[in-house]
């Protein structure tokens, strides 16, 4: 059974940093793109970032480019999202989602339960 | 990175069929086969319902179907059931190497 489990959320002050992790199991991790999608309170889904199976290609939404960095450790089946210079508008539930063989398939077929990030003073 | 356009809400009675539209441009929905649909119940994670415009993942009832015409994709749910009441989101690959979601549609089963 495919499972992804996020961790690392919490309360952080504006301008601060946070690192999210996503532990994956039940599939050949290095074969698949992995993704971060967020959802602000009461709002819709927003794609944040994706990374290829090898980790060699990364992609970001304009709203986070230059502030967030996605990475993965294929030896530990774990995905990361380093978030710097956090803003109030980054407050959201952050979901980790398994992708297809290529990130552009826009195919998020297994989701975690999400981890809440709150940016507030 | 403008969101794809979806109606804010749709409704239907049990047993009826409804269609949710998702309008983009030739740079996203109209230009690629990579359109997906997600169902999200309150307080839950989204669930993939349709991918590559019209393909259904294993385990999703065939009451859910997808299609595309030009820059508009559509999700049709036939034989509406109470448990179909949820928020629905479309997504698409966009030519600038990003993924874009629709604003979401709240489905009410009357």
Q: What percent of chain A is predicted at pLDDT more than 90?
A: 96
Cβ separation B93–A105 shorter than 8 A: yes
Residues of chain A in Cβ contact (below 8 Å) with chain B: 35, 37, 44-47, 50, 59-63, 95, 100, 103-109, 111-114
More confident residue, A57 or B1: A57
Chain A residues within an 8 Å CB radius of B32: 104
With 70 as the cut, is the pLDDT of residue B101 above it?
yes
Measure the CA–CA gap between A110 and A2, rounded to whole angstroms: 7
Q: State residue B88 phi and psi, 5-degree precision.
A: -125, 135
DSSP letter for each residue of A73-118: ETTTTEEEEEE-S--GGG-EEEEEEE--SSGGG----EE---EEEE
For residues B75-95, give the mean pLDDT: 96
Measure the CA–CA gap between A3 and B5, rounded to whole angstroms: 31
With 80 as the cut, is the pLDDT of residue B83 above it?
yes
Cβ separation B46–A111 shorter than 8 A: yes
B34, B97, B98 member nearest A105 (Cβ): B34
Mention every residue, 6+ apart, whose C-beta is less than 8 A from residue A52.
A33, A58, A102, A103
Rounded to a whole number, what is the distance in Å from the CA of A60 to chain B's nearest CA?
A: 7
A44, A61, A95 member nearest B89 (Cβ): A44
Chain B residues within an 8 Å CB radius of A61: 1, 98
**Pair type for strands A115-119 and A92-98:** antiparallel
With 80 as the cut, is the pLDDT of residue B2 above it?
no
Measure the CA–CA gap between A113 and B41, rounded to whole angstroms: 12
DSSP tally for chain A: helices H, then strands E: 0, 11
With 80 as the cut, is the pLDDT of residue A36 above it?
yes
Chain A residues within an 8 Å CB radius of B102: 44
Distances (CA, A) of B31 to A15, A101, B70, B82, B83: 38, 20, 8, 35, 33
Mention every residue, 6+ apart, whose C-beta is less than 8 A from residue A38.
A45, A46, A48, A90, A92, A93, A94, A95, A117
Q: Residue B1's pLDDT is what?
A: 59
Cβ separation B91–A113 shorter than 8 A: no
- CA-based radius of gyration for chain B: 13
For residues A1-29, give the mean pLDDT: 97
């Amino acid at each position: 059974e495919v499972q992804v489990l996020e961790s690392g959320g919490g309360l952080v002050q504006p301008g601060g940093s946070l690192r999210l992790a996503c532990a994956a199991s039940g599939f050949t991790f290095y074969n698949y793109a992995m993704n971060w999608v967020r959802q602000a309170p009461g709002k819709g889904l927003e794609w944040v970032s994706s990374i290829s199976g090898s980790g060699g290609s990364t992609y970001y939404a304009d709203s986070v480019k230059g502030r967030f960095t996605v990475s993965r450790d294929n030896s530990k089946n774990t995905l990361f999202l380093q978030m710097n210079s956090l803003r109030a508008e980054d407050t959201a539930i952050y979901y980790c989602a398994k992708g297809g063989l290529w990130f552009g398939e826009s195919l998020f077929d297994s989701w975690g339960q999400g981890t809440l990030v709150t940016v507030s003073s | 990175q403008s969101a794809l356009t979806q109606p804010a809400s749709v409704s239907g009675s049990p047993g009826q069929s409804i269609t949710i539209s998702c309008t983009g441009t030739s740079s996203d929905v109209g230009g690629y086969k990579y359109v997906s649909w997600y169902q999200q119940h309150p307080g839950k994670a989204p669930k993939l319902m349709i991918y590559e415009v019209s393909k259904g993942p294993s385990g999703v009832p065939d009451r859910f179907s997808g299609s595309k015409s030009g820059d508009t994709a559509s999700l049709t749910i036939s034989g509406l059931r109470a448990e179909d009441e949820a928020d629905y989101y479309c997504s698409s690959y966009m030519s600038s190497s990003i993924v874009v979601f629709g604003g979401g549609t709240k489905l009410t089963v009357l």
